[in-house]
Structure 1
Amino acid sequence: MTHPSPTIDAVTRELQTLRDFWRYAISRFNAADLSYGHGTTTASDDAAFLLLDSLDLPIDVLDPFLDARLLPEERRLLAERIEARVTTRKPTSYLTGRAYIQGVRFHVDERVIVPRSHIGEILFTEYLGEDGSGFLPDPLMVESALDLCTGSGCLAVLAAKFFPAAEVDAVDLSADALEVAKLNVAEHAVEAQVRLLSGDLFAPLKGRRYDIIITNPPYVDHEALAGYPPEFRAEPVMAHDGGEDGLDLVRRILEEAADYLNPGGGLLCEIGSGREILEEEFPELEFHWIETAESQDAVFWISAEELGVED
């Protein structure tokens, strides 16, 4: 037997603390059988993110605030967003308007995919580790960087921060996505470094060469797209659609990247689950697969020289 959901007015009136709202949100999310994967993996984590981000609290610190009593307007805001998460099935980041990569905040809305690239983790791990990166170029020596399929611009912004001497080009085919990227570039004050360009992959970059190319292109295959839950269908389909087997754009990038790389540079590319297909189709290439917290082979690095760039 199902019970009617409490009204927003009732929730606002009856629940008082963050703990109350967290418990209520988890129950509602579980009952609605929501899907996750936009920075959270469980009902508990998604509820915590919705509550903390909505209240401008640190998104990774819940315990100190659990028994804090909330103001009436805060309670209504949380009640409304919990209800919206259940009824619209939109990712929580679309409801709060924010997403995070390694704690760095970015603006998001339904014009862009919610950023969750493994590449952000890799940049932080490789460049902030004690010994530096074993394969990525020296960040202080990078003078030019390219972010293909930039979306919200988050990786371009991170590139500008990690490569302080670099000019960073960021390309996307979606005019809507570039408008969001423009907001993030301004928010992080990297306008002097990042240039946003409209076009299909390398098309707007004739004559340009880069010390590093980073890309998180659409790589979802059509079978997976057809089975998407509402949370993923809420995102722009062009940000996911990688063709029949998911690798249409990855193939194009591999075939063209050498024309845009400087000697000593390389390509850092996220591909999802297509490793076997890629290695079978490009047996002459030596991919360096990078382990992350959630995957062992979703991202590869390949040097400019391996792609045929001559010194």
Structure 2
Amino acid sequence: MHASARHELFTLRDLLRYAVSRFNASGVFFGHGSDNAWDEAAYLLLHTLDLPLDQLDPFLDARLVPEERAAFLDLIERRITERKPAAYLTGEAWLQGHRFTVDERVIIPRSPISELLANGLAPWVNDPDDIDCVLDVCTGSGCLAILAALAFPNAQVDAVDISPDALEVANRNIDDYKLDGRVTTYCSDLLDQLPQCEYQLILCNPPYVNRQSMESLPPEYLHEPRLALAGGEDGMDLVRRLLRQAPDYLAPDGMLVLEIGNEYQNFMAAFPDLDPIWLGTENTEDQILLLTREQLAS
């Protein structure tokens, strides 16, 4: 970092411009909550200054005290030199306007399933109040389980992960949202150690990155648990197991909502006889699918 940066950058506007330039010049990768240098720089600056994350404009020409400036510049340098995603530097991630505590024991929350939950899974769920039993498989930080509990106010939600470390983070988030009585965590390899239950809705954002893609991931992803990303040769290792197990855990009218990221071709090759409903979100078309118990059982 230029020593002059600590003496010649005075306002939020100055620091944002500097951070964007540094990010662009250093080739950091964005894919863990923001997808561009400006949004990431703005988030890190507002976080550092304890300002509302949605109120940049009123403060753009405000000046920083030296300690604030130094803290932000140090954070920018860490982002560049360590190539850690911003969420691991701040200890938090935001999804659909909700804050979740995160660290390197869990994958950073970013699943587009969250967008579907924000809309109560309409039109596939007619009345959110009618959902009383939900399962979130590969829960990680617990973000989707918590969003499901908020979307379906009468539901009991079970959250499953194979990683005891991840479940420690999930339990903290469940406590933060005061959902202890409604969201329950289980340490289980997929559904293997889960008590028998008939869920109306199973959600799953599994490890689905295929081997070739794993070998070419940007450095930022290497800070995340490999367990939460790697899906085997074609990305479908855990998906195959889940689709076999799911019918035994679904109510007769139950549904599975599954995220497969960029593995559409591999999914279609692995399951040519399935005809899922593809659920679109603002930025995805073929990354989330819905299967009924009837389809899975057949």
TM range (shorter): over 0.9
Q: Distance in 1 between matches of 2:279 and 2:161?
A: 25
Structure 2 counterpart SS, 1:76: helix
Q: Distance in 2 between matches of 1:278 and 1:79?
A: 43
Q: Match for residue 300 of structure 1?
A: 289
The aligned length equals 298
| 1:27 matched to 2:13 | no
Tell me the amino acid that sits aligned with residue 205 of structure 1: L
Q: TM-score, normalised by structure 2?
A: 0.95
What is the CA RMSD across the aligned residues, in angstroms? 1.6
Structure 2 counterpart SS, 1:180: helix
| 1:6 matched to 2:2 | yes
Counterpart of 1:48 (choices 42, 63, 66) is: 42
Q: Distance in 1 between matches of 2:169 and 2:224?
A: 14
Structure 2: 5+ residue runs without aligned partners? none
Q: TM-score, normalised by structure 1?
A: 0.91
Structure 2 counterpart SS, 1:307: helix
Q: Distance in 2 between matches of 1:189 and 1:116?
A: 22
Identity %: 49
Counterpart of 1:145 (choices 122, 134, 146) is: 134
Q: State the shift of 1:17 in Å.
A: 1.3
Structure 2 counterpart SS, 1:22: helix
Structure 2 counterpart SS, 1:176: helix
| 1:37 matched to 2:26 | no
- Evaluate the alpha carbon distance shift between residue 229 and residue 280 of structure 1 in structure 2; reply closer, same or farther with a 3 A threshold: closer
Q: State the shift of 1:135 in Å.
A: 1.3
Structure 2 counterpart SS, 1:305: helix
| 1:276 matched to 2:265 | yes
Q: Distance in 2 between matches of 1:182 and 1:176?
A: 10
Q: Match for residue 222 of structure 1?
A: 211
Q: State the shift of 1:264 in Å.
A: 1.5
Q: State the shift of 1:137 in Å.
A: 5.3
Does the Cα contact within 8 Å between 1:137 and 1:265 map onto a contact in 2? Answer: no
Q: Distance in 1 between matches of 2:117 and 2:8?
A: 45
Q: Distance in 1 between matches of 2:49 and 2:179?
A: 27
Q: Match for residue 250 of structure 1?
A: 239
For residues 86-137 of structure 1, give each alpha carbon's deviation from its aligned partner in whole angstroms, at most 9, with x where no partner exists: 111100111111111111111111111111001001111x32xxxx712135
Q: Distance in 1 between matches of 2:293 and 2:131?
A: 14
For residues 73-95 of structure 1, give each alpha carbon's deviation from its aligned partner in whole angstroms, at most 9, with x where no partner exists: 32222111011111111001111
Counterpart of 1:156 (choices 135, 145, 156) is: 145
Q: Match for residue 109 of structure 1?
A: 103
Q: State the shift of 1:60 in Å.
A: 3.5
Tell me the amino acid that sits aligned with residue 76 of structure 1: A
| 1:82 matched to 2:82 | no
Q: Match for residue 64 of structure 1?
A: 58
